[in-house]
Amino acid sequence: MAVLPTTKHGNPVLTARVEPIEGVTDEILTLVDDMIDTMRNGETPGVGLAAPQIGRALSIIVAEPPPDHEGTEAVHNGAVVLMNPEIVYSKGHTIIEEGCLSCPGVTAEVGRPSHIVIKGLDRDGNAVKLEVEGALARIFQHEVDHLHGKFFFDHLNPIKRQLVKARIRRT
Ligand SMILES: [Zn+2]
């Protein structure tokens, strides 16, 4: 496990097209472990991380499940690991304050669906489908956005978005 530098807003890898994971190689397993380590022990510890945030245009996300999370599917070393994640269903609406390791020090209240069903591959390459709500649903949506070159502020109205982007440019 190794802590890697996190890429910041403006780095082209954060808006690059990500490659799907076709097979779980030793390199991918090491990368997943490094992503978990970076999420927990990096310069700004967080609760989720997408591969572009450590400079790799690959379809992998990791998330820290909240203490009340009872599911064990896709959990490795206490973190949820999903490769090629895809949100296949969502419902409800909730507003939660979000920040991002790639935009340190800037947060905004973001509205998103409260419940989602997400499918993908676990760290072993097995297909999994998770139905989640609350904090984990929020983290998954934020991290899947990173695989599509999107940031949390892209969900704000144009005026708020410009304010947040101006704050990011100043940090
Ligand atoms: Zn982020």
User: Is residue 83 a part of any domain in this protein?
Assistant: yes
CA of 144 to the centre of ligand 1 (A): 9
User: Is residue 30 a part of any domain in this protein?
Assistant: yes
Query: Looking at residue 22, what is its pLDDT?
Result: 96
Helix (H) or strand (E) holding 109: strand 107-112
Domain that holds residue 157: 12-170
Query: Looking at residue 20, what is its pLDDT?
Result: 98
The structural domain count of the chain equals: 1
CA of 5 to the centre of ligand 1 (A): 14
Q: List, by residue number, the catalytic residues.
A: 143
Mark the residues whose beta carbon lies below 5 A from ion ligand 1.
100
Task: Judge whether 45 and 39 are in contact, CB under 8 Å.
Answer: yes
User: Is residue 32 a part of any domain in this protein?
Assistant: yes
Rounded-to-integer distance, Cα 125 and Cα 121, Å: 5
User: Is residue 7 a part of any domain in this protein?
Assistant: no
- Write out residues in the chain with pLDDT < 70, as ranges: none
| CATH number for the domain harbouring residue 147 | 3.90.45.10
User: Is residue 3 a part of any domain in this protein?
Assistant: no
CA of 143 to the centre of ligand 1 (A): 6
User: Is residue 4 a part of any domain in this protein?
Assistant: no
Query: Looking at residue 1, what is its pLDDT?
Result: 83
Query: Looking at residue 26, what is its pLDDT?
Result: 97
Tokens of 60: 């992998």
Query: Looking at residue 47, what is its pLDDT?
Result: 95
Rounded alpha-carbon distances, angstroms, from residue 2 to 32, 86, 93, 122: 10, 27, 37, 20
CA of 48 to the centre of ligand 1 (A): 7
